[in-house]
C-alpha cells in the first residue's frame, strides 16, 4: 500500500539552486563578467525566457561566446558542486 507520495520540485530534497547559481557565477568570472544575485533572481520562478544567463553573459564582455562550450563548462561545474550533496534537513 502506498503511504505517501513526494513530488520533488527542484530544490525540495536537495539544494540545487545554490550550486546552479554558483556554477553560473564561476562561468561568468571565467569570462571576466559578473553575475549578481539580483541578476540571477530575474530567472527564479519567472516565465521561460525572462532571463537568459547565456545571452546576458554574451552582452557583459561585449563579445560572442561559444554557447555550447560555456553550457558544457557550466554543467561540469554544477555536477562537481553537486557531488556528495546531502538531502535537506528532515528529508531522510
pLDDT tens for residues 21-32? 999 999 999 999
Residue 2 domain-assigned? no
Q: How many domains does the chain have?
A: 1
Residue 45 domain-assigned? yes
pLDDT of 14-67, one tens digit each? 888 899 999 999 999 999 999 999 888 877 777 777 788 888 898 887 778 899
Known catalytic residue at 8: yes
Residue 92 domain-assigned? no
Alpha-carbon distance values, 7 to 3, 38, 47, 65, 80 (Å) = 14, 28, 21, 37, 25
- Determine the Cα–Cα distance for residues 88 and 86; give it in Å rounded to an integer: 6
Residue 77: what pLDDT?
A: 98
Domain around 63: 17-82
Minimal CA–CA distance to 56: which of 72, 68, 45, 67?
A: 67
- Write out the three cell numbers for 43: 530567472
Residue 6 domain-assigned? no
Residue 54 domain-assigned? yes
Spot the catalytic one: 8, 15, 66, 86.
Answer: 8
Residue 4 domain-assigned? no
Spot the catalytic one: 10, 15, 66, 86.
Answer: 10
Residue 38 domain-assigned? yes
Any idea which of 4-8, 29-33, 39-43, 75-79 has the lowest mean pLDDT? 4-8
Residue 9 domain-assigned? no
- Determine the Cα–Cα distance for residues 79 and 13; give it in Å rounded to an integer: 16
Known catalytic residue at 10: yes
- Determine the Cα–Cα distance for residues 5 and 2; give it in Å rounded to an integer: 8
3-state secondary structure 39-77: HHHCCCCCCCCCCCHHHHHHHCCCCCCCHHHHHHHHHHH
Amino acid at each position: 500500500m502506498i503511504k505517501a507520495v513526494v513530488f520533488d520540485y527542484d530544490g525540495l530534497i536537495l539544494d540545487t539552486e545554490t550550486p546552479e547559481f554558483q556554477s553560473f557565477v564561476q562561468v561568468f568570472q571565467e569570462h571576466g563578467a559578473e553575475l549578481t544575485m539580483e541578476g540571477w533572481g530575474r530567472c527564479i520562478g519567472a516565465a521561460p525566457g525572462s532571463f537568459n544567463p547565456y545571452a546576458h553573459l554574451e552582452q557583459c564582455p561585449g563579445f560572442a561566446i561559444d554557447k555550447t562550450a560555456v553550457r558544457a563548462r557550466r554543467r561540469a561545474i554544477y555536477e562537481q558542486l553537486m557531488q556528495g550533496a546531502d538531502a535537506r534537513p528532515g528529508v531522510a
